[in-house]
Amino acid sequence: MNIIVDHREMKTANGEAAVYSPEVAERAVLFQQMLMDYSKKAIVLCNSEFMVHQMHHVTKISGIYDKTVPLFAKDRAMVDQAYSIAGLNGNEIITYTK
């Protein structure tokens, strides 16, 4: 099973792109380790380049770096790339943002 995680709308109250706090990142490591026991690959739609770097850091700590693909690009290109990596064609589970 492949998983697509959508963090594109993860924003602060004033609309800035948000990332995990250190406390949340610690919990994310544990959750990711458990989740990846049942998954082949996790594709993460990120809200910024900073989040891509944070995903690389967190997944290296959790030991799932090789199973995770964090993406950040123009919305349509990023979603299309995620679908391609996951092997999904013509699916509209994840929509394009406006």
pLDDT tens digits, one per residue of 49-78: 999 998 898 889 888 899 999 999 998 899
Q: Please give the model's pTM, rounded to 2 decimal places.
A: 0.84
Q: Residue 90: its pLDDT value, please?
A: 65
> Which residues, 6+ apart, have CB-to-CB distance to 47 below 8 Å?
7, 8, 9, 10, 11, 17, 18, 72
pLDDT, residue 25, reads 79
- What percentage of the chain has pLDDT greater than the value 90? 30
Q: Decide if pLDDT at 93 tops 80.
A: no
| Alpha-carbon span 46 to 57, nearest angstrom | 14
12-31: average pLDDT: 84
Q: Sketch the domain layout of the chain as residue ranges.
A: 2-86
